[in-house]
Amino acid sequence: MNSSGCFRERLKGGEIGIGPILIIPSLHVSQMSATLEGVNFVWIDLEHGAIGRETASAMVASSRGRAAPLVRVTSGEHWLIKQALDMGAEGLVVPMVDTREEAEHIAQAILYPPAGFRGYGPDVAAQTWGIPIPQYFKRANDDITLVIQIESREGLKNAESIAAVERVDVLFAGAFDISVALGKPGKVEEPDVEAAILSVRDAAHKHGKKAGTIALDPVLGQKRLNQGFDFLVTATDMVLLTRAMAEYVAALKVPSK
8, containing H or E segment: helix 7-12
Does residue 250 belong to any structural domain of this protein? no
> What pLDDT shows up at residue 235?
92
Strands (E), 35-155: 41-45, 68-72, 91-94, 145-150
What is the predicted pLDDT for the residue at 257? 80
Give the integer Cα–Cα distance in Å for 148 and 81.
13
Cα 111 → chain centroid = 18
Whether 254 maps to a domain, the answer reads no
In a domain? residue 121: yes
User: For residue 181, is it within any domain?
Assistant: yes
Query: What phi, psi does 114 have (nearest 5°)?
Result: -85, -5
146 forms bridges with which residues in the sheet?
A: 92
Residue 202 region by backbone torsions, left for phi larger than 0, else alpha for psi between -120 and 50, else beta: alpha
CATH number at residue 153: 3.20.20.60
Indicate the length of the chain as a whole number.
257
- When divided into structural domains, the chain yields a total of 1
Q: Which domain holds residue 158?
A: 7-245
Whether 105 is covered by a domain: the verdict is: yes
Does residue 214 lie within any of the structural domains? yes
48 classed as catalytic: yes
* Displacement of CA 2 from its chain's centroid (Å): 18
Answer whether residue 236 is part of any domain.
yes
Predicted confidence at residue 138, as pLDDT, reads 96
Residue 26 placed within a domain: yes
Q: Which one of the listed residues 48, 78, 105, 207 is annotated catalytic?
A: 48
Q: Collect the ranges in the chain with pLDDT lower than 50.
A: 1-3
Q: So what's the pLDDT on residue 2?
A: 40
Q: Whole-angstrom Cα distance, residue 94 to residue 212?
A: 13
Report d(CA 75, CA 96) in Å as an integer: 7
**Residue 21, SS3 per DSSP:** strand
User: What pLDDT score does 4 carry?
Assistant: 56
Task: Judge if pTM exceeds 0.75.
Answer: yes
